[in-house]
Amino acid sequence: MRGTPLAVELAGVLWLATGTAAAVAQTVQGTAIDAANGGPISGAFVVLEDEAGEERARSLTTRSGAYRLSAPGPGAYRIRVERIGFEDVPTDPFHLAAGETVSRRLEVAVRPVTLGAIEVTSGEARCGTPADEALELGRVWEEARKALEATAWTDRQSYYRFDVLLFRQELDPRGEPVAPPEHESIRVYGRHPFRSARPEDLAYGGWVQRQGNEGLKFWAPDAEVMLSESFLRLHCFRLVRSESDPGGLLGLEFEPAPGRRAGPALPDVTGVLWIDRESAELRSLEYRYAALRLPVETDLLGGRVAFDHLPDGGWIVRSWEIRTPLAQLRELRSGNRRQQRVRLSGLQLEGRRVLAVWRTGDVQASPDAAQPSGVPAAVAPPDQLLRRYPADSPP
């Protein structure tokens, strides 16, 4: 008998633009150029700061290195360039008059961040924002933060069309497949293919929440949650090494902070952000659940989130998966008394993988990425002129 999922809801959310932003009179625009070779810098944050160092606007540079920033009013500003794998570069202060448009060509000096030499030593996890703690831990978090910020910013600013492959598969209690996977190809219109719950809802309601008579809903982390004040405040961090690729990956492990609140602990998550030592790019996030208090084995529950950058400078969650329990109710009788017990009958693996991303007719990721045979492909948009970029390897 096939079990019933204790939880199965994780879906892409459509966020449609409902209005136009009010025009701002003061504008800074231009291009970011690598001072070493004169080439454009794409996918870097250009941040506008006021005299007090407070952020007033930010934008990701495009494939050509272009950026555009709207200032809230006239005054003195400076620009800071955040580039994954490189140290931040600030400009000299400049004045922006009311109604003025300033063009600035940013020649960014190359000062790489070196993560390859970081040695991982055992030690206690540090709680709170990692950048406020040990130097090496802060350096690793800063690079992870840049990629998470870019992913969250892309979610809020850009509108894409995603070709998405859904998959699900039943596993036995040890995590071994017991049935072939089922696939479905869909198209998602919006700013992101996946979205988690609001950080505050997870902080105060837990990562596994009861949904009336429908069972439990298991949430997975996304960039917005990982960057939230509530998540950083309620979790501790440490550096860990990769057993499978110690020379290529560096791990930033997180776990619930001890004594985070009085009373029984809410369901939470623990996991690792994996960062490429050479490029300092965020590769993936592996997570498991903690403090579930379920009457079944929970060691294998959890999943993985993979990140990737697009040619236009944006970042997305390229793939996502989660393992949730399949359970059976057993009724025990003793005389006139009846008692129900839950038995773990297996696991259900679910997930999504982005095969292609479209923006205003441009292919941002290859629509020819491999998918299982017999699955209908999502129909490409009927644009007459399409520019194709080289395919990325599927995660």
CA-closest candidate to residue 316, choices 372, 275, 356, 272: 356
DSSP for 255-294 reads EEPTT-SSSSPPPEEEEEEEEETTT--EEEEEEEEES---
Cα(146)–Cα(84) distance, rounded to whole angstroms?
6
Give 243's DSSP letter: S
Q: What pLDDT was estimated at residue 213?
A: 63
> Quick check: 63 and 137 in contact, CB under 8 A?
no
Cα(340)–Cα(342) distance, rounded to whole angstroms?
7
Longest dimension (CA), the chain: 86
Residues counted in the chain: 395
CA-closest candidate to residue 389, choices 278, 318, 310: 310
Q: What pLDDT was estimated at residue 134?
A: 64
Count of CB atoms situated within 10 Å of the CB of 136: 17
Q: What pLDDT was estimated at residue 22?
A: 42
Cα(221)–Cα(205) distance, rounded to whole angstroms?
14
**Cα atoms found within 13 Å of the Cα of residue 124, Cβ hemisphere only:** 6
- The structure tokens listed for 136 are 């090496």
| Beta pairing class for 126-127 and 235-241 | antiparallel
Identify the architecture of domain 26-108 in CATH: Sandwich (2.60)
Cα(304)–Cα(235) distance, rounded to whole angstroms?
19
Domain locations in the chain as residue ranges: 26-108, 124-365
Q: What pLDDT was estimated at residue 331?
A: 59
Q: What pLDDT was estimated at residue 359?
A: 66
End-to-end CA distance of the chain: 33
CA 133 to chain centre: 23
Reduced to 3 states (helix: H, G, I; strand: E, B; else coil), residue 148 is helix
**Cα atoms found within 13 Å of the Cα of residue 63, Cβ hemisphere only:** 6
Q: What pLDDT was estimated at residue 108?
A: 86
| Beta pairing class for 101-108 and 26-34 | parallel
Q: What is the pLDDT along the chain (395 residues), one digit of tens a residue?
A: 444 333 333 332 222 233 334 444 789 999 999 888 889 988 889 999 999 999 999 988 888 889 999 999 999 999 999 988 888 888 899 999 998 999 999 988 877 777 766 767 666 778 877 765 567 888 888 889 988 988 888 777 656 778 888 999 999 999 999 999 999 888 877 766 677 889 999 998 999 988 766 578 899 998 999 999 999 989 999 999 888 888 889 999 999 988 755 456 789 999 999 999 988 889 999 999 998 888 778 889 999 999 988 777 778 888 999 999 987 666 556 666 666 566 788 899 999 988 887 765 444 444 444 444 554 444 443 333 223 322 232 22
Q: Give the predicted TM-score (pTM) of the model.
A: 0.76
